[in-house]
Amino acid sequence: MPTMTQSLRRAVATTAMVLCAQLSFAQETAAPAADPTLSMGTEVITRPALPTQELAEVGQLYLSATHGSWELRCVKAEDGSDPCRLYQLILDATGSPTAEISLFSLPAGSQAEAGAAILVPLDTLLSANLTFSVDANREVIYPYTVCSTDGCIARIGFSAEQIAQMKNGEAATLTLTPAGAPDQRVPLDLSLKGFTAGYEAVVAANTP
């Protein structure tokens, strides 16, 4: 899926668009993404890893912990509250970075158990929507809500049932449709390795 991965060249550092207002994340434009190298089409882009909490400055994104395939990323706050989210870079069948997910817990009493922002390439067919499924469970359809030069975002609310499926599942699947090939559906595997521990960590981090 080379054309889709090429359109992520400018999405190597996903910032404010994947942040939810409920978490009040600080501005992240100065924070580099955590992957030291990413193959974007024929290019290899090198970038430094995220700092640790001890080395991060106020307002800077840092890597708090790794849980299997997930990273717990937090923003250093002056008052020490440090809101966090779970992050995973999603690869296509060739191993090329194609999408990103940032998942966060929501306060008790919210309509959803958790929220997520999924960034996909600009040359995705937006009218086809994004589908999400866990193992053999049914697909759930989500619309794309906004696009920028970095890509397009689907904002997702996960129910308690879906979070339970992810905790007990082996893999989730995101399915996109290329704008240049509207008759094709492109599945992307989302690893659930370490999700349970990662989700418990993000809930603990975001609970006052």
> Does the pLDDT at position 69 exceed 80?
yes
State the average pLDDT for the chain: 80
Q: What is the mean pLDDT of residues 70-82?
A: 92
Contacts of residue 92, defined as CB under 8 A and 6 or more positions apart, other chains included, come to: 1, 4, 5, 98, 186, 188
177: CATH: 2.60.40.1880
∠ at Cα 183 (179, 185), nearest 5°? 80
Percent of the chain with pLDDT over 70: 77
Q: What is the mean pLDDT of residues 164-183?
A: 94
pLDDT of residue 18: 38
* Domain span including residue 170: 2-206
The pLDDT assigned to 4 comes to 46
CA distance 166 to 120: 21
Of the listed ranges 29-43, 102-116, 160-174, 185-199, the least confidently predicted one is 29-43
pLDDT the model gives residue 94: 87
C-alpha 139/C-alpha 167 separation (Å) is: 17
How many domains are contained in the chain? 1
Question: Does the structure show a pLDDT above 50 at 47?
Answer: no
pLDDT tens for 55-68 read: 888 988 899 999 99
Looking at per-residue confidence, does 126 or 150 come out higher?
126
Residue 45 has pLDDT above 60, yes or no: no
pLDDT in tens, 134-160: 998 999 999 999 998 888 999 999 999
Amino acid identity for residue 70 in this structure? W
Q: Residue 71: which of 207, 206, 193, 208 has the closest Cα? A: 193
Top-confidence residue, 90 or 48: 90
The whole-angstrom separation of Cα 63 and Cα 194 is 16
**pLDDT of amino acid 208:** 82
Q: Which residue has the higher pLDDT, 194 or 55?
A: 194
| C-beta atoms surrounding 57 within 10 Å | 10
- Spatial neighbors of 122 by CB under 8 A, at least 6 apart, are 7, 147, 149, 151, 152
**pTM (predicted TM-score):** 0.78
